[in-house]
Amino acid sequence: MIGHASLSVAATPHPFSIALGTTALLVIDMQHDFCHPDGFCGHNLGVDLSAVTAIVPRIQTVVEWCRHHDILVVYTRESHRADLSDVSPSKQLRYTNAGYPVGTLGNMGRFLVQGEAGTALLDAFHPLPTERTIDKPAQSAFVATDLEAQLRDRGITHLLLTGVTTECCVLGTYRHASDLGFYCLLLEDCCAAFSDTEHQAAIAVILGENGAIGWVTTSDTLLALKEGRSL
């Protein structure tokens, strides 16, 4: 097993130094409403989910690799209270303008409401008792949650980011985590958007200004890490 020794992962635009003993994996919003054909985006909005479907087995592989190396896995779900009291007026307006008001009745219950089938994780993901599941009312997983405290309590300094959608909740969480001082590495082949243009645009943002925002790599590059070996 890989301990706290620092390893170098090949990444763009610069190598990413990582100690797996102080690293956590974030699996962002792989829930029915966003990712399942019968969920709100697939069934009600008719979104093409092919890119989302493609990342599921890759994320599963990364989860298993993290479990093997005792890396904390955290799953997030964008969701709100049944009375919608935690939906800000700004968010409700933005989501309404986009065509999917929070709380709208869909094929799997009310959109983004806690306890509805649509907010459940895909069947491909089964958190272990030692793993964490965070319900978040915003795009960033750090807004109105105890995620930062959980990570600090465990001495986590580095984050691996996966999930959907790349330009929305993944990028929002990435930027917030970076500002909180975490070292963030996006696994670009484990993230997806509803359009490739938006997916690529989000990656371009992270790589902007020659790495002033962060780092990007692929899951294959990460999984090839061996103890005492830099890639």
Catalytic positions are 29, 136, 169
Q: Which residues pair with 186 in a beta bridge?
A: 161, 216
What separation in angstroms does the CA of 178 have from each of 107, 131, 142, 152, 168?
36, 22, 11, 14, 15
Between the alpha carbon of residue 139 and those of residues 156, 167, 217, the distances in Å are 21, 10, 22
Q: Which of 30, 192, 19, 26 is nearest to 125 (CA)?
A: 30
- Check if the beta carbon of residue 120 is closer than 8 Å to that of residue 66: no
Residue 88 in tokens: 């800000």
Could you give the residue ranges of the DSSP H alpha helices within the chain? 32-35, 50-68, 89-98, 147-153, 171-179, 196-206, 208-211, 219-223
- Report how far residue 229's alpha carbon sits from residue 6's, in angstroms, rounded to the nearest whole number: 10
Q: Which H or E run includes 216?
A: strand 215-217
Question: What burial letters (b/e) apply to 82-100, b meaning 16+ CB within 10 Å?
Answer: eeeebbeeebeeebeeeeb
